[in-house]
Chain A
Amino acid sequence: MPPEPAYDALIIGAGPAGIGAALALKSRGIHNIALLERETDAGGTPRHCGHPPFGLREFRRLLTGPAYAKRLARAAFDANIPLLPRHSVLALHPGGTLDLATPEGPRTLTARRVLIATGAREAPRAARLIGGERPLGVLNTGALQAYCYLEHKAPPFTRPVVVGTELVSLSALLTLRRHGIHPVAVLESGPTPVAPWPLSLFPRLLGLPVHRNAALASINGFPRVTSVTLQNGSELACDGVLLTGRFTPESTLARMSHLALSTATKGPAIDQYGRTSDPAFFAAGNQLRAIETAGWCFFEGRRIGEFMADDLQGGLPAPGDELTLTPGEGIAYVVPQRLARVSPLRATLQLRLTEPALGQLHVRAGDTVLLRRPLISAPERRVLLELDDLRPPPGTQHLTIEVAQ
């Protein structure tokens, strides 16, 4: 099939990050762009989340997820950004060529720059290696909310156990409560709830027993769930399992492609402009790391959309002369993973910790600590580190970010 005329920019995923980037490109006078969305409607994951708070910073209103998603889609529509719905990108090829499936048949599209903004999802049962039989009624929060808010149907359980105590777990409890479903218990594999106090009290306020140090060993029953067995051997009767949180980037396209992935984030590795290992491809949003709020992703998409515009207009430094960043002691991941060597660096690193820390954050080149910052934080909190003043000595190739107690 002969390639269709090239776009200036194509954006894969019409969620908060993708729409943020599209709006930025458009405002910079880059008109030959399109949003590629595999679903029928634009808006991304917030479409599922039938509860506030969304949109406080973007639209200065307290919105539910679906209302926020509609606002995003409307903003793209009002800006005359073409949306190609039911367009599934199947493969990324070097230089900005995409293979797609569409209901009208296969297409091949090319663009001078492509943004991957395909979001994140929760780890399903298999990825968590939960054993047992495979009955109906084992869902993630995403599927639960799609049942309740997209399809207006009741999920296939009435007395589930809820696994996880992240913020999304609390959102799942709200969704269940609103739909008259009473969980049997909340299970947390660690010693303490993950969501910060006072939100972590929420399950108890709903009158739900919270089992700590309660990792799920197996799911029992077929064709429906009859119980779960915990790793300590105890058994809980229930008719479903709701697996919440443990988000992972939906980075399949990047993983199947020529692009370099970060083993720490499981998303594409980028530089401070959002550029991946192939400079035709950028990435933004929860594709980069799981997981931040819709608002964060929108502004991140907008910022990286600006960089794409700079790049198309010849304003980004050529790729090649780069520092690499490695997460060291106490650091789960760092985004970006590479820094174009410019002065000043104009980079803000986004980090997460592996465990609660009270000490210092160090940026180290070899044995030399280049930067020290006081640090009090915990894994569920985002840590930002500005590197504008950093002057790596000439010849520096690698920087390590680490926690020093």
Chain B
Amino acid sequence: MFDIAVVGAGVVGCAVARRFALMGARVVLLEQGPDILSGASKGNSAILHTGFDAPPGSLELACMRAGRAEYLEIRERLGLPLLETGAIVAAWSDDEQAKLPAIAAQAHANGVTDVTLLDRAALLARIPTLSPHIKAGLLVPGEHLIDPWSAPLAYVLQALAVGATVHRRTQVTAARFDGACWQLDTTTGPFRATTLINAAGLFGDHLEALALGEASFTIHPRKGQFVVFDKAATKLLATILLPVPLERTKGIVLTPTIFGNLLVGPTADEQDSRTNAGTDHQSLQALIARAHALIPALEHMPVTALYAGIRPATERKEYRLRHEPARHYIGLNGIRSTGLTAALGLAQHAASLYQTPHTPIATPPWPQAPKLAEHLPRDHHQPGYGEIICHCELVTRREIEAALTGPLPATDLGGLKRRTRATMGRCQGFYCQAHLATLTAGRLDPPLETPHAP
């Protein structure tokens, strides 16, 4: 019997599980995928936003502001990185340039008062690799980079450390509220909890319909494809380059990553599938061409990786929150690219809706996230790591072993990659995948080898 069942272990579900566990509630976190972050949260642009361009007065803005503040407050205790890059909203035409003052005004209205308009000369002085076609820009110093996978992992690890339970590969098949309590049938058995929190991301509408009989929104999956350039490209750009926002999405971003790569994306492709995060050649070429247009020196940089994420967009732009106090239901849905920033804030918001008192954990332990940021000391800086397994991303055997043990071990290759970065570099497993198959034997499903060799 639990106080809280959180369904969906994306970044929001992980943050919510942590918040309620720290409040002293008995929490169970249920995830249908093989690992946390295996849905929408696995593919994003990894930016800790300021909210400068969020809708004024919105819940989204409030959650982003609160989430960002909490991240900055707790990150050092959880060993989470921050790369203070700042961002530039870059205008490439007179029309775009004309929109910058309004964006600056909105930033001020949103409490982000340190933005500065920069002219072409100032931009080129600041970023000499920028295409000379740049017109003007708005500097937003507070936009930063974080590790999009270690952060939610650390949230869950802390939740686990104070007594929460996590079940992966667990799909909710039925949900019944009996007037006091939720009965959840799942693929790994029944669970009972007083309150149900829907953080099911791409399946949020399905879960809401399952629980409440009807869904107040519909997920319209929106795929975002990304191209990752080689680590050598990071010397070409140390600042996030944002486009002047379009009506529907934030548009295509060119940004360094905390792992020392350069990333361009996302596209915004409407599709029916909630699971097919496939890329397509044409879109990838268009993204690369866009990156070359922004930073011409990228032309000779190799491509390291391709991926796509699926955002759980709905028929409306705003977050789709639903609170049904009588039925002990809180829904946190329709959360797109700002979810990484807003997650801790959304968790605070959900906690504020919840009225049952518990005894908060007085002195919670602070588990340490994997140390994967390129600008900070990595595991290979500490003696005794055994050997480097993944040479491109400098992943040690000690890191692989840590990711396969502990309270939330990786059980699939995706989970191992997100915890260590193994095979995520330029050779994509050419050198290390076979060795990894040996190190992970019996630990991953599906395994990296064909069992019972012919």
Chain A positions within 8 Å of B, measured between CB atoms, are: 38, 40, 86, 88, 90, 101, 103-106, 121-122, 124-127, 129-134, 136, 139-140, 142-143, 146-147, 150-158, 179-181, 217-218, 220, 222-224, 231, 248, 250, 252, 255-256, 261, 263, 266
Contact of A131 with B450 in the complex, beta carbons under 8 Å? no
Contact of A252 with B426 in the complex, beta carbons under 8 Å? yes
CB neighbours of B437 from chain A (8 A): 147, 151, 153, 156
Contact of A129 with B284 at beta-carbon distance under 8 Å, contacts A101-B380, A147-B434 already known? yes
CB neighbours of A130 from chain B (8 A): 281
CB neighbours of B388 from chain A (8 A): 38, 86, 88, 101
Interface-facing stretch out of B203-211, B300-308, B364-372: B300-308
18 more A-B residue pairs beyond the given contacts A139-B433, A140-B429, with a C-beta to C-beta distance below 8 A: A88-B388, A88-B394, A103-B384, A124-B429, A125-B306, A126-B306, A127-B303, A129-B281, A129-B306, A131-B279, A154-B454, A158-B450, A181-B454, A218-B281, A222-B277, A252-B230, A255-B232, A256-B232
Q: Which of B205-250 contact A (CB under 8 A)?
A: 228, 230-232, 235
- B232, B383, B449: the one contacting A103 at CB < 8 Å is B383
CB neighbours of B386 from chain A (8 A): 103
Cα distance A153–B453 when bound, in Å?
A: 7
List 20 interface pairs A-B (beta carbons < 8 Å), by A numbering. A38-B388, A88-B391, A121-B427, A125-B428, A126-B428, A129-B284, A129-B288, A131-B284, A133-B278, A146-B431, A151-B435, A154-B450, A154-B452, A155-B450, A156-B449, A218-B279, A223-B446, A231-B281, A248-B302, A252-B230
| A-B interface, 5 closest residue pairs, ranked by CB to CB distance from nearest | A146-B434, A124-B428, A154-B453, A180-B454, A105-B383
Q: Which of B43-62 contact A (CB under 8 A)?
A: none
Contact of A40 with B279 at beta-carbon distance under 8 Å, contacts A122-B430, A126-B306, A156-B447 already known? no
Which B-chain residue is minimally distant from A125 (CB atoms)?
B428
Kindly provide the distance from the CB of B298 to the nearest chain A CB, expressed in whole angstroms.
13
Contact of A151 with B438 in the complex, beta carbons under 8 Å? yes
CB neighbours of A224 from chain B (8 A): 446
CB neighbours of B413 from chain A (8 A): 136, 223
Kindly provide the distance from the CB of B256 to the nearest chain A CB, expressed in whole angstroms.
15
Cα distance A129–B279 when bound, in Å?
A: 9
CB neighbours of B447 from chain A (8 A): 156
Cα distance A266–B288 when bound, in Å?
A: 18
Contact of A105 with B278 at beta-carbon distance under 8 Å, contacts A151-B435, A255-B230 already known? no
Cα distance A179–B446 when bound, in Å?
A: 21
Cα distance A134–B279 when bound, in Å?
A: 9
Cα distance A269–B151 when bound, in Å?
A: 42
> SS class of chain A's interface: helix, strand, loop or mixed?
loop
Contact of B448 with A158 in the complex, beta carbons under 8 Å? no
Cα distance A218–B306 when bound, in Å?
A: 12
CB neighbours of A90 from chain B (8 A): 394
CB neighbours of B430 from chain A (8 A): 121-122, 124, 140, 142-143
Chain B positions within 8 Å of A, measured between CB atoms, are: 34, 228, 230-232, 235, 275-281, 283-285, 288, 300, 302-307, 380-388, 391-392, 394, 412-413, 426-431, 433-435, 437-438, 446-454
Kindly provide the distance from the CB of B238 to the nearest chain A CB, expressed in whole angstroms.
15
CB neighbours of B279 from chain A (8 A): 131-132, 218
Contact of A218 with B453 in the complex, beta carbons under 8 Å? no
Contact of A147 with B383 at beta-carbon distance under 8 Å, contacts A86-B388, A139-B429 already known? no
Which B-chain residue is minimally distant from A88 (CB atoms)?
B388
Cα distance A101–B283 when bound, in Å?
A: 38
Cα distance A40–B391 when bound, in Å?
A: 12
Contact of A179 with B454 in the complex, beta carbons under 8 Å? yes
Which B-chain residue is minimally distant from A134 (CB atoms)?
B307
- A101, A142, A152: the one contacting B431 at CB < 8 Å is A142
**Best-surrounded residue of A104, A179, A256 (most CB of chain B within 10 A):** A256
CB neighbours of B448 from chain A (8 A): 136, 156
Kindly provide the distance from the CB of A224 to the nearest chain B CB, expressed in whole angstroms.
6
Which A-chain residue is minimally distant from B300 (CB atoms)?
A263
Cα distance A224–B450 when bound, in Å?
A: 12
Cα distance A143–B447 when bound, in Å?
A: 15
Cα distance A263–B230 when bound, in Å?
A: 15
Which B-chain residue is minimally distant from A181 (CB atoms)?
B454
Contact of B434 with A143 in the complex, beta carbons under 8 Å? yes
